[in-house]
Amino acid sequence: KAGVTQTPRYLIKTRGQQVTLSCSPISGHRSVSWYQQTPGQGLQFLFEYFSETQRNKGNFPGRFSGRQFSNSRSEMNVSTLELGDSALYLCASSLQTASNEKLFFGSGTQLSVL
Amino acid sequence: AQSVAQPEDQVKVAEGNPLTVKCTYSVSGNPYLFWYVQYPNRGLQFLLKYITGDNLVKGSYGFEAEFNKSQTSFHLKKPSALVSDSALYFCAVRGGNQGGKLIFGQGTELSVKP
């Protein structure tokens, strides 16, 4: 069974641009969540989607948004990029949204904002 | 508010020696606790979780963790370290109806020397 797939693997953008990252969960998984990883802030929760509905949202500005499609694939979008948005963006999937479930992570998209 | 603390940024051990990576948590209600490992340029891999039951939890690659409610700790342990265990280790907590939202510690870099 294929794991969580994130594309692209690397992205370079300039300030003010926008970017869309894609995540394909493990087959059969209906929950997708996104995390931002930076050396200074560590791993921070962005949002979670289940059955095309946002279930949870972290403390990020409105420039960060996401969505989930009927096939459970998810995208996150960052508009008006800032230098501080440079980070590794990780997507994770699970079967449901139960608190005792483990998450399966993708390898991430490394975003560099110049 | 939920939180996780990993008091050591780095842990160094010699191959063959036992290792401990420390984690303390703060959560209202019953905690769901997890350990993940991250190898360079990779996403996070699940090691083990505590939901309820035995305080000693066994996980992947010979790792185990001890849940201590009175000390609000969930330390990761391994009886005999391998060089290949060198990686970044994250403790995470989820409480209540938090679904996919994991609160991560800052991470501990484990270095195992031959």
Q: What is the model's pLDDT at position B42?
A: 80
B100, pLDDT greater than 70: no
Q: How confident is the model at residue B96 (pLDDT cuts 50, 70, 90)?
A: low
Asked if A53 has any chain B CB less than 8 Å from its own CB, the reply is no
Task: Tell me the C-alpha to C-alpha distance, in Å, between residue B67 and each of A93, B35, B54, B95.
Answer: 25, 12, 8, 15
Asked if A45 has any chain B CB less than 8 Å from its own CB, the reply is yes
Which residues 45-104 of B have a C-beta within 8 angstroms of A?
45-46, 49, 51, 90, 94-104
What letter does residue B30 receive in the DSSP assignment?
S
Pairing between β-strand A109-113 and β-strand A10-13 as defined by DSSP bridges: parallel
A55 interaction partners in chain B (CB closer than 8 Å): 99-100
d(CA B36, CA A44): 14
In this predicted model, what pLDDT tens digit does every residue of B41-88 receive, in sequence order? 788 999 999 988 889 999 999 999 999 999 999 999 999 999 999 999
Token duo for residue A97: 């949204």
In this predicted model, what pLDDT tens digit does every residue of A24-41 receive, in sequence order? 999 999 999 999 999 989
B3 interaction partners in chain A (CB closer than 8 Å): none
In this predicted model, what pLDDT tens digit does every residue of A30-82 receive, in sequence order? 999 999 999 989 999 999 999 999 998 999 999 999 999 999 999 999 999 99
